[in-house]
Amino acid sequence: MDFSVIADNLSYFLLGAWPHGPLGGAALTLVLSISSALASGALGLVLGVALATTHGPAHQGLVLALGFFRAIPVLMLIFWTYFLLPIVFGFNVPGTGTVVVALSLIGGSYLAHSVYAGIASLPPGQWQAAAALGLRRADALRHVILPQALPIMLPSFLNQWIALIKDSSLAYVIGVGELSFVATQVSNREMVYPTEIFLFVALLYFIICSSLELGAGAIARRYGSAEKQT
């Protein structure tokens, strides 16, 4: 094994062609992950509240639509957004935007169910007590329900975000220069050290994902013990 290929290309792995060209590599992976984490979190919150507050056909329709996004491979959804977004918006959407849209839709539809479960896990007396205090449903949700439900949901949010970081590697298929794309680029150029390159790239992903996983575990333990005390 010869790891000098890593040292020679280190800045390309971490930053891509930046500052002389577009940002890429691990930095772009982080940008993709953080933007789709934020968007999927917001989407999951809105859709989860919608699941919790709708009944009958509207609820069924929403469940079905979310089921669709959970049933198709992320790769297929990236193909779809790559093909449909320019038609919908009427101009060429950059690959980075395409991937963020696809990852947010997938992450959002998984998170919607976590948010729904978090809201449903609270005793119904919370809604009734808020109503008795004269709060409207929206205010009850904002001031009574969500502050209690969010800590319950936090671990599933973090787990979903770990999945997002790993899924951001699929940006490779539409040629976005994030970490896995850069890895294959270097591997194709150098020709001789694929083992070292993919081990190093796996290590980078491992560091990012497992630090988030450790954080998720710590938070779960903290809120888990807080729950037992009360």
Partner 1 sequence: MLDQLLAPKYVGWLIDGFYVTLAVSALASAAATVLGLLLCLARLAPTRWLAWPALAWLSLFRNTPLLVQLFFWYFGLAALMPQGLLEWLNTPHHWHLAFFGVRWPPFEYVAGFTGLTLFTAAFIAEEFRAGVRGVPPGQAVAARALGLRPWQVWRYVVIPQAFRIALPPLLGQYMNAVKNSSLTMAIGLAELSYASRQVETETFKTFQAFGIATLLYIGTVAVIELAGQWVQRRRPALGAVR
The residues of the shown chain that bind partner 1, judged by CB under 8 A, are 68, 71-76, 79-80, 83, 162, 165-170, 172-173, 180, 183-184, 187, 192-195, 197-199, 201-202, 205-206, 209-210, 213
User: Smaller CB distance to partner 1: residue 40 or 146?
Assistant: 40
> Using an 8 Å Cβ cutoff, are 175 and 95 in contact?
yes
Sorted by sequence, the CB contacts under 8 Å of residue 67 that are 6+ apart come out as: none
User: Smaller CB distance to partner 1: residue 70 or 136?
Assistant: 70
How many helices (H) does the chain have, and how many strands (E)? 11, 0
User: Smaller CB distance to partner 1: residue 101 or 145?
Assistant: 101
User: Smaller CB distance to partner 1: residue 88 or 132?
Assistant: 88
User: Smaller CB distance to partner 1: residue 47 or 178?
Assistant: 178
Q: How many CB atoms lie within 10 A of CB 42?
A: 13
CB of 8 to partner 1, least distance (A): 17
User: Smaller CB distance to partner 1: residue 3 or 128?
Assistant: 3
Q: How many CB atoms lie within 10 A of CB 98?
A: 23
Sign of CA dihedral 9, 10, 13, 17: negative
CB of 87 to partner 1, least distance (A): 10
Which is nearest to 38 in space by CA: 108, 142, 117? 108
CB of 124 to partner 1, least distance (A): 23
CB of 17 to partner 1, least distance (A): 21
CB of 84 to partner 1, least distance (A): 9
> Using an 8 Å Cβ cutoff, are 219 and 155 in contact?
yes
Sign of CA dihedral 12, 17, 19, 25: negative
CB of 137 to partner 1, least distance (A): 33
Q: How many CB atoms lie within 10 A of CB 19?
A: 8
